[in-house]
Structure 1
Amino acid sequence: MATLLVLGFSSGLPFYLTSKTLQAWMTTAKVDLATIGFFSLVTLPYSLKFVWAPLMDRYTPPFLGRRRGWVLITQVLLLLVIAAMSLHDPRTGLKMLAVNAIAIAFFSASQDISLDAYRTDVLETREMGAGAAVFVMGYRIAMITTGALAFFLADRTSWNNVYLLIALLMIIGIAATFVAAEPVLNDAPPKSLAEAVVLPFADFFQRAGVLRALVVLLFIVAYKYSDSLAGSMTTPFLLQAGFSQSEVGAVFLGVGVIATIAGVVVAGAAIGKIGINRSLWIFVVFQGLSNLTYYGLSLSGKNHGFMVSAVITENFGLGLVTGAMTAYLMSMCNKRFTATQFALLSSLMAASRDILVAPAGKIIEGVGWPGFFLITVAMAIPPLILLPFIAPWSSDVPIGAAPHTGETIPARRPQPPLAVRR
């Protein structure tokens, strides 16, 4: 579990380097806002990672094994491309800066593919909640590092030096990869790239059945939609309610992050005790009801204590559903095709966060803030309707879940004794 914490840190470290941190650097360099806005496109590889994920199921590097080998490759390349950011000046070389940022996003998305596959393969079913919680905790710690710490350092040195220092932090993840155990694959991996593309789909639909598989895909999109819809507009809501940017930032980056970490930790413990299925039921109810705190705040007006309570409650619920959904996705992946299947399923989950929330502003214009937050509460009902068909309360594991034994090979396997010659 300690290894997963460090690997989660490695996964989260590059995330802000192509978004918030880069935007801050460009802003201080007096780059115009239109250009800064277009730079958001450099993160596109995160949404397309399922395209090259089959490569990581098909091919095994000649060192460290099928999962750790790819993790190490992506980590080393990330160290190099993050460090290369220190060679740029946004005022004179925007094109090369964009190319470098795209490279970071690509190798970061590739690291996510390999680490998601590793985490899934190395854990048995009952460990998935705790494993997901520990991994997400490391991820959030990394986001704080590249968020708060990067800005702190930027006030005292150049952004070039900040990127160079952050690149060196990748060494922590590289060290963890060397000491981590390699998952055991008892079945043969795909024998061709065509198999690596086709078989993950065939396996998924065969295990769950075509109709139930479609219900699973719909469930993945719907499960976190209540939180995603509310979360997409909480910042504009709080600012319009009269809170300052400093107040909102301090609460979200302070107690908000802590509440999310606490939520995933509680989720991990609960999944280990009551199983994935019951956790999915309980957590989505809590998440939906947690949005009532924002509904109450929209009626009461500016109230700092109420605002802090709302942020804590909603972020704690976010941690719960994140832990539960991550464990659910892991349980549905076959170890032969984990990289491809997890990348595809997690892309569906991202759709509700990045695409389906688009009408939020129009909804608010039509019904106002109180009505909007009541709608976000109601959005917890669709996944509850689907749950009996894919994760019944009476079972511990979801229907169609793949077997996960958590069998591993130690990082340094002892050599067998030499045979006695006769």
Structure 2
Amino acid sequence: MDARLTRQLFSPRMLVAFLMGFSCGAPLLLTSTVLQAWMTEQGVDLTVIGFFSLVGLPYTLKFLWAPIFDRFTLPFLGRRRGWMLLMQLTLILALIGLGLTDPGQTPWLVALAAFFVTFFSASQDIVVDAYRREDLSDNQLGLGSSFYVNGYRVGMLLAGSGGLILADYLSFDQVYLLMAASLLVGIVTTLVCREPPLTRGTPRNFREAVVEPFVDYFNRDRALLLLLFILLYKIGDQMASTLTTPFYLDLGFSKTQIGAVAKLFGFWSTIVGGLVGGTILLRIGIIKSLWIFGILQAVSILSFSALALMGNTITGLIVAIVLEQLTSGMGTCAYVAYMASLTNKKFTATQYALLSSCMGIPRVIIAAPAGWLAELVGWPLFFFGCAVAAIPGLLLLPLVAGQYRRDSQ
């Protein structure tokens, strides 16, 4: 490992990216998986539990209030750190409030508290994404993004799996208090990290804050094509991951087998994939990484087709999960770095919120027809189709690469 790469891997900026990722990832499952388990235990109707998924809307609509974080600077800690600290404090208070509710008696109050958690969590995501883009240089974005994504997944693991395990020994209100305390990691990181330099100024009025970020983006050459690429690049991977659990169950694997393999092999494969992807990206750049990782993503999906043909085999399950999660982690690293590179630093919060919201659209749209398609053609052909679905995004890459070079110049 050369000295330059070693300095990058162990730089304070990478540690900040990892810890901020942890702070952003931990709240996510506390309003979905863990909350659903709590409500089920309290005897809440399944229909009501289903409607609780709507409290996650702030994650997909966050671009609507992102201009606030570009326009205004709080009178402490600077433009980014001030907002990060405020959102982290309010998020902790919202989690404590959620833990003090009673799903069995006042589900409407639970819904309100959960909504505040997702709102402040999505707001923290906006500011942290903007901070990361402005704190890291262009050649550090890939490695920094991999550290952020890995921190995010560790936070999800702690809150999701850790929260459910703790719930066997503690009451759910105590679990939420512990999870709220874990977010002190983000507050400490915000207090000790540096404020990114302000290189492009700040919006001075409503028009500059709300209208110009969108005008600025869509005035660039091939703006719609770049947006289409963001929508399509990971669609095959997202399409396959939508139905993996029903697929495993249909092959006869037990829930214990799925949980053990997915949590153990899947989690660590994603972590390794992110680190390897970030390291490779640092050496060869964003565009070459998008090519290599995109092809690997598509090919790895075929391991699910092979598993469908082989049937119930633990070895096949491990290989399929490791390959898919490893390449998905690498692809996500390059994908997130590319999106960050598209933003204008004057409007980082707004433009990145717009692009990251678009990133989630395919997952929502394909969730409904994916099950119907799998039933129609069977699992082997379904996953083959998922691999083929990755091709349109790859076909756009030559045009994306040309535009990236022009923008860099």
TM-score range, shorter chain: over 0.9
User: Which structure 2 residues correspond to residues 77-116 of structure 1 after superposition, within 5 A?
Assistant: 77-116=90-129
Match of 2:340 among 312, 330, 333: 330
Quote the residue 2:130 is aligned against.
Answer: 117
Deviation of 1:278 after TM superposition, in Å, equals: 0.1
1:266 and 2:276 aligned: yes
SS in 2 for 1:243: coil
| Greater per-residue helix proportion | 2
Task: Give the 3 Å change call, closer, same or farther, for CA 400–245 of structure 1 in structure 2.
Answer: farther
User: Matched residues in 1 for 2:389 and 2:211: separation?
Assistant: 34
Match of 1:160 among 166, 173, 176: 173
Quote the residue 1:378 is aligned against.
Answer: 388
1:194 and 2:207 aligned: yes
1:149 and 2:162 aligned: yes
SS in 1 for 2:345: coil
Quote the residue 1:287 is aligned against.
Answer: 297
1:178 and 2:191 aligned: yes
SS in 2 for 1:31: coil
Deviation of 1:171 after TM superposition, in Å, equals: 1.1
User: Which structure 2 residues correspond to residues 5-404 of structure 1 after superposition, within 5 A?
Assistant: 5-206=18-219, 208-209=220-221, 212-392=222-402, 398-399=404-405, 401=407
> Structure 1 unaligned runs (5+)?
404-422
1:292 partner letter: L
CA contact (8 A) 1:55 1:193 kept: no
2:166 partner letter: L
Deviation of 1:401 after TM superposition, in Å, equals: 4.5
CA contact (8 A) 1:331 1:402 kept: no
Deviation of 1:402 after TM superposition, in Å, equals: 6.9
User: What's the C-alpha RMSD, in Å, of the aligned pairs?
Assistant: 1.3
Task: Give the 3 Å change call, closer, same or farther, for CA 196–399 of structure 1 in structure 2.
Answer: farther
Quote the residue 2:11 is aligned against.
Answer: none
Deviation of 1:180 after TM superposition, in Å, equals: 0.8
> Structure 2 unaligned runs (5+)?
1-13
Quote the residue 2:16 is aligned against.
Answer: 3
1:215 partner letter: L
2:27 partner letter: P
User: Matched residues in 1 for 2:155 and 2:367: separation?
Assistant: 26
Alignment deviations for residues 327-386 of structure 1 (CA, whole Å, 9 cap, x no partner): 000100111000000010111111112223431112112211111111111112101110
2:175 partner letter: V
Task: Give the 3 Å change call, closer, same or farther, for CA 54–402 of structure 1 in structure 2.
Answer: farther
User: Matched residues in 2 for 1:203 and 1:137: separation?
Assistant: 31
Task: Give the 3 Å change call, closer, same or farther, for CA 147–110 of structure 1 in structure 2.
Answer: same
Deviation of 1:399 after TM superposition, in Å, equals: 4.2
User: Matched residues in 1 for 2:210 and 2:406: separation?
Assistant: 20
Per the normalisation by structure 1, the TM-score is 0.92
1:14 partner letter: P
CA contact (8 A) 1:11 1:139 kept: yes
User: Matched residues in 2 for 1:192 and 1:251: separation?
Assistant: 52
CA contact (8 A) 1:10 1:170 kept: yes
1:10 partner letter: S
